């Protein structure tokens, strides 16, 4: 196997990259900083800063009007996507924590997009299974517990419109997908990646963005 050109992302190069991406606005920046301040041990669950503009770009690129997010945490990714929606667009945000999402609610209200976000607290599988079964979702973002990713996928794919996009975060999972020992940290993510590869309903690419990002388009 021949690997193409690769660039080591140093702190300086990462900062340079951010300066050449759409900047976070004051509300997005404040939410990122608040997350690290309030939840320092869990802040790694927040989507990377460069993923906010990317998700917004994908919303606009696909013309999405109906989005589903599985795993909202403190709401940075939901905020980024909701800001890119048209005024009548809607985002269903699934999470289990009132504490985490309370910070998202504040930021969504401050950004004027709270009316575009339908936050549903509870098990995401229950929320997904209660949705209409016909294809109606334009874009979905999976960033939740890795053990349930295949289950989320199987609920989402039939509900995606043709050409709809599923974006899945952490598909390299800190490199642990290469550890094939039983019970490894990356076992669930590796199983999910194999499941996605074998799914002929979708066409997918896995990109080395942040901790691995898979884009999957409904055929």
| pLDDT tens by residue, 58-77 | 999 999 999 999 999 999 99
Asked whether residue 4 carries a pLDDT value surpassing 80, the answer given is: no
Provide the pLDDT for residue 182. Answer: 79
- Is residue 140 included in any domain, yes or no? yes
- Is residue 163 included in any domain, yes or no? yes
Provide the pLDDT for residue 185. Answer: 87
Number of Cβ within 10 Å of residue 103's Cβ equals 19
Provide the pLDDT for residue 1. Answer: 64
- Is residue 4 included in any domain, yes or no? no
> Percentage of residues in the chain with pLDDT exceeding 90?
93
Say how many domains are in the chain. 1
**DSSP string covering 36-76, please?**
HHH-TTTGGGSPPTTHHHHHHHHHHHHT-SEEEEE--TTSH
Q: How confident is the model at residue 12 (pLDDT cuts 50, 70, 90)?
A: very high
Asked whether residue 145 carries a pLDDT value surpassing 90, the answer given is: yes
- Is residue 1 included in any domain, yes or no? no
Q: What span, in angstroms and rounded, lies between the C-alpha atoms of 184 and 178? A: 9
Q: For residues 75-87, give the mean pLDDT.
A: 98
Strands, E, within 37-106: which ranges? Answer: 66-70, 90-95
Intra-chain end-to-end CA distance of the chain, in Å: 29
List the CATH number of the domain containing 111: 3.40.50.150
Asked whether residue 8 carries a pLDDT value surpassing 90, the answer given is: no
- Is residue 135 included in any domain, yes or no? yes
Q: Which 3 state secondary structure label does DSSP give 211?
A: coil
Give, for 141, the enclosing helix (H) or strand (E). strand 137-142
- Is residue 2 included in any domain, yes or no? no
Asked whether residue 5 carries a pLDDT value surpassing 80, the answer given is: no
The pLDDT tens digits for 23-55 are 999 999 999 999 999 999 999 999 999 999 999
- Is residue 3 included in any domain, yes or no? no
> Percentage of residues in the chain with pLDDT exceeding 70?
98
Q: What span, in angstroms and rounded, lies between the C-alpha atoms of 111 and 79? A: 8
Provide the pLDDT for residue 183. Answer: 84
**Enclosing domain of residue 183:** 11-218
């Amino acid at each position: 196997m021949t690997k193409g050109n690769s660039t080591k992302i140093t702190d300086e190069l990462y900062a340079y990259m951010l300066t050449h991406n759409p900047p976070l606005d004051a509300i997005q920046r404040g939410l990122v900083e608040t997350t690290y301040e309030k939840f320092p041990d869990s802040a790694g669950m927040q989507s990377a800063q460069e993923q906010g503009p990317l998700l917004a770009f994908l919303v606009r690129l696909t013309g999405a009007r109906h989005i589903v997010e599985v795993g909202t945490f403190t709401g940075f990714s939901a905020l980024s996507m909701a800001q890119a929606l048209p005024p009548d667009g809607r985002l269903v945000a699934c999470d289990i924590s009132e504490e985490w999402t309370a910070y998202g609610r504040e930021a969504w209200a401050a950004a004027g997009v709270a009316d575009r976000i339908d936050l549903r607290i509870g098990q995401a599988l229950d929320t997904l299974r209660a949705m209409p079964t016909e294809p109606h979702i334009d874009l979905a973002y999976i960033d939740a517990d890795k053990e349930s990713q295949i289950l989320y996928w199987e609920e989402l794919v039939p509900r995606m419109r043709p050409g709809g996009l599923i974006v899945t975060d952490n598909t390299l999972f800190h490199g642990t997908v290469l550890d094939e020992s039983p019970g490894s940290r990356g076992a669930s993510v590796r199983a999910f990646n194999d499941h996605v590869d074998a799914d002929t309903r979708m066409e997918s690419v896995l990109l080395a963005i942040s901790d691995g990002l898979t884009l999957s388009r409904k055929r």
